[in-house]
Structure 1
Amino acid sequence: MINSTTFILERRIFIFALPGILIFSCLTLLGAYAAISGKSYVERELVGQQAFLTEANQAVDEWREELVEIEASGVSQSPYSARPMNLRLPAVLNPAPLADFATGAGGLFPTTTKLTGWANPADLFIEYEFANPTILGSGRFDLTFLVVVLMPLVMIAASFDIFSADRERGRSRITAMQAGHIHSSIWKRLVLRNTVLWLVFSLIALFAALITPFAQISSARILSFGVWIGVSWVYGLFWFSVISLAVSVLKRSEAVAAALFSIWAVFVFAVPAIGGAVAEAAYPPPSRLVFLSEMREGEVEGVRDAENLTNALLAEHPEMVPSVEDVPGYFRGAFLSNREANERTTPVLEAFTETRHKRKNLVGRMQFLSPALIANNALVTVAGGDVNRNMEYQAQARESLSNLYTRISPAVVAKQRISIEEFDSIPEFSFSDRTSMDVLGDYLAVFGFMIIVSIFLIVIAMRRLRSPLDKLL
């Protein structure tokens, strides 16, 4: 229990002293900047997606109005009017409820596309690739980055000399003479300093969660924030245990600082970099050239065998009588080539997915070597800024595209239009997302491991601080 004496001492030498004021000021400024940066990014994303949806839905409504008019009058103004191939349905990946807490390299990945018979899996997400990957890959400063990378440094700056400074100034001997021991005083001060730091950060994060970039605060955002802040505190507990052990073992403040900074560099940068390189070498992705080659071959085969493919499709749908209306032949040809390209590239896409899963599993095993990697993966996933969420969006969009192929293929091949009833039965794209609790379930084992390690290090630190005074002083 932290008594009033400890609080008064810490208030005088740290909380309201120049070092403490500087640390708290820097933390507040960094937290505010991270929150504003994340909020601005999500707001821009929402504005862009809304503009995309408005334009796409307007085009779909116009297409439907043409179809209604044709069905009512039986006459079309143009052979191009309300053709199934000209139907372009929007598919959007909305930002996750807590997206502003972990923007990361979100700009590297697409969040909008249009499902149409003119598209095949290879060019469904082609436009985003024109952005500069070097700039986008650098990511953005957000609250997750602040937790994983900077909060350990803030904790180290606040705690590295908490024992050595007292020893050098003689305060430890005075405390020992009065109380007969010093471990209680040192321990309470460590707990107080780091608890205050995390309380300040938690208030900043709570404020960011309440000032949402979305129209309103949803229950999903509240739940995600609760999980996110809980993960952050577990990560903070680990660094508290490491700092406590270093303070209790090393006597000189510069030695404590050097040791802690080295540990931070290894956990935050070295292990994740090595882990990524090992995973890339162990499970390299399939060749994109093979993917594009299969796509082109499928397109060529679709054009070459258009007659046979048409006859096969019409045999499967005898109710579709080929129209005598003057319909451009390239509608059918383009659709068949894309349909064949879809079938040819499916195995390659599945190979990409399998490789990604194997790489993810390998990194999942290696993350036990770096608590920073564990925390980053969990925080980014809970916030909805992870790569896997976007990959799942692309997979669901391609599945919706295949479903659209199935629905419009008889009409396209027979050079007919689909009915209003058939159009209205096409489901709107809706991304099926995971909940924060589902994500947390994936990380229970690794966080249990981190908590056990933290408790073990804390026990060692406490035993070390209880050593005879002649060894400590």
Structure 2
Amino acid sequence: MFGFYMQREWADFWRSPVRILAIAIYAGVAFWALMDGLTWQSHVQEIQAETPADMFTDREAWMADLRRAEAGEEVSPYSARPMALTLRAVHMPGDLAALAHRNEAIHPHSALISGWRSEASLFRRYEVEGPSVLRSGRIDLAFVVIVLMPLFLLMLTFDVVSRERVAGRFRVFLMQGGSLSRLLAARLLAVSVPLVLIPAACVLIASAVKSASPVSGLIWLAAITAYALFWAGVSAMIAVLTERPASGAIAVLVSWSVFVVLIPSASQFLAQSLHPVPSRVTYLSEARDAEGQTRRNLAQRAEIYMAEHPGQGGASDDAVPGFYRASYLANVDINSRTAPLVAEFEDQQSAQRQFVNAVGFLSPSMMAQDLLFRASGTGPERAAAFRQQARAHLAVIHEAIGPATVNRSRITVAQAEAIPEFRFAPPGHGPILWISFIWLVVAGGLLVVATAGVARRY
């Protein structure tokens, strides 16, 4: 019997030019977002791979010069100096970053780590995108799934009952033994299948092109299905409870606006109001003041530093320019002076994320977006992890080269070999991923069950 309803709804769906146009627009936006994302990800990877060689150190050549100097061979006074060691920290996009890259341009993806750098100059801001793109953002597949899929699903299914009522066919349908539950299920399946399959196809294409982890692709597919289940339950409830198409359309717009627009926007506003971050103007002002004081009292500052590191630094070499020491000490003091501001910034941003995660249980779109970000290897939590790890690596470099730089000498080969290369360790998914998925499935299932109970009364 259900097969009859399904065949009728499927045939009716594809006879409507309006519905075909809606699906075509949806598919066009989804595949355009996919291509744009793949282009963006390839562009970022090319930029990271093509960083000019003169911006960071050829470590093998630098080590070779250091070994010759330590062996007593003649080398240039400027060769193998600690300040000449510049390492690169790279935050490569996740496997499926092409699917959720809309806000990635505002996060740093690379850093140059050396004694010439302080935390204030560590990250190259906006190295990929222009201001216009940063302002407007991009349309990615996550946007299509989170924002457009529920809107299309609601608009194409909310009137399945009210339309029959207005036409006077609903009572006849019931008298002839028709099942409202089966009618709703057939309509929702007829509409949901293409709306789910289109982004699912995009996920499979991106996974194949980028050789992504199967786990990431499966999380995406599961999240799309669970999210569609929730909105199918919302649509079914609206279809059963509304008498006329006009009232159904209002209910659709209100439910979509509340869950997709209002709650996410309000949560971001409240998070930023309750946990404001320090201003960048204050940060830069502290950095300039620290640098100025260090340069004005350079000799005294160098004595204090060496007193804090007794017996380190090796034999002094007057051929080393004094600005090496000045720049290094200025950067150390900048980091020390601005450390409370940096810590406050990271703590406040972490508090904002925690607040949004807590409020996210009120909105399926926020839960689904968090799922998709984690599966894609994007999002603010991953960006924060990169910033913290890059700063920590900068502190390691500063500590390793400090005494030798201030004393105008070289570090030893053993000390140089102990300096690690930067390796970004992405944060784990954590239990929040599974909690979000279970929440979507349970909420959607409860809505479907409740709607089925109401439908049985007819």
**1:378 to 1:135, Cα distance in 2 relative to 1, 3 A:** same
Letter in 1 for 2:108: P
Once the two structures are TM-superposed, the CA of residue 203 in structure 1 deviates from its matched residue by: 3.8
Q: Deviations over 1:40-65 (max 9, x none)?
A: 11000000000017555664444344
Q: In the comparison of the two structures, how many residue pairs are matched?
A: 457
Q: Secondary structure at the match of 1:91?
A: strand
Does the CA-based 8 Å contact 2:97-2:377 persist in structure 1?
yes
Does the CA-based 8 Å contact 2:313-2:411 persist in structure 1?
no
Q: Secondary structure at the match of 2:383?
A: helix
Out of 82, 93, 108, the position equivalent to 2:80 is 82
Moved more, 454-463 or 403-412: 454-463
Q: Do structure 1's residue 43 and structure 2's residue 36 form an aligned pair? A: no
Does the CA-based 8 Å contact 2:30-2:141 persist in structure 1?
yes
Out of 295, 302, 309, the position equivalent to 2:294 is 302
Question: Partner of 1:356 in structure 2?
Answer: 349
Question: Partner of 1:460 in structure 2?
Answer: 450
Moved more, 260-269 or 185-194: 185-194
Does the CA-based 8 Å contact 2:6-2:187 persist in structure 1?
no
CA distance in 2, matches of 1:20, 1:288: 49
Q: Secondary structure at the match of 2:367?
A: helix
Q: Deviations over 1:43-92 (max 9, x none)?
A: 00000000017555664444344434544562123x22221112111111
Question: Partner of 1:224 in structure 2?
Answer: 216
Question: Partner of 1:211 in structure 2?
Answer: 208
**1:87 to 1:322, Cα distance in 2 relative to 1, 3 A:** same
CA distance in 2, matches of 1:135, 1:31: 19
Letter in 2 for 1:9: R
CA distance in 2, matches of 1:194, 1:292: 54
Out of 257, 266, 270, the position equivalent to 2:258 is 266
Q: Which runs of 5+ in 1 are unaligned?
A: 469-473
Does the CA-based 8 Å contact 2:34-2:98 persist in structure 1?
yes
CA distance in 2, matches of 1:452, 1:299: 56
Q: Secondary structure at the match of 1:122?
A: helix
Out of 187, 195, 200, the position equivalent to 2:197 is 200
Q: Deviations over 1:349-406 (max 9, x none)?
A: 1111111122222222222332222222332233122122112211111110000011
1:425-440 to 2 correspondences below 5 Å: 425-435=418-428, 438-439=429-430
CA distance in 1, matches of 2:341, 2:443: 42
Q: What TM-score, normalized to structure 1?
A: 0.88
Q: Secondary structure at the match of 1:340?
A: helix
Q: Deviations over 1:195-249 (max 9, x none)?
A: 413442254234323332x4xx14xx32112112212222211111110110000
Does the CA-based 8 Å contact 2:2-2:186 persist in structure 1?
no
1:35-114 to 2 correspondences below 5 Å: 35-52=34-51, 56=55, 59-71=58-70, 74-77=73-76, 79-114=77-112
Out of 353, 373, 376, the position equivalent to 1:383 is 376
CA distance in 2, matches of 1:382, 1:372: 15
Question: Partner of 1:162 in structure 2?
Answer: 160
Out of 142, 145, 153, the position equivalent to 2:143 is 145
1:361-440 to 2 correspondences below 5 Å: 361-435=354-428, 438-439=429-430
Does the CA-based 8 Å contact 1:120-1:341 persist in structure 2?
yes
Once the two structures are TM-superposed, the CA of residue 305 in structure 1 deviates from its matched residue by: 4.3
Out of 115, 124, 128, the position equivalent to 2:126 is 128
Does the CA-based 8 Å contact 1:105-1:138 persist in structure 2?
no
Letter in 2 for 1:238: F
Letter in 1 for 2:44: E
CA distance in 1, matches of 2:249, 2:439: 26
Letter in 2 for 1:92: V
CA distance in 2, matches of 1:170, 1:452: 35
Once the two structures are TM-superposed, the CA of residue 432 in structure 1 deviates from its matched residue by: 0.7
CA RMSD in angstroms, aligned pairs only: 2.5
Q: Do structure 1's residue 244 and structure 2's residue 236 form an aligned pair? A: yes
CA distance in 2, matches of 1:343, 1:363: 31
Letter in 2 for 1:327: V
Letter in 2 for 1:51: E
CA distance in 2, matches of 1:313, 1:261: 64
Letter in 2 for 1:157: M
Letter in 1 for 2:134: L
Q: Do structure 1's residue 329 and structure 2's residue 322 form an aligned pair? A: yes
Question: Partner of 1:471 in structure 2?
Answer: none
Q: Percent identity?
A: 28
Out of 263, 279, 292, the position equivalent to 1:287 is 279
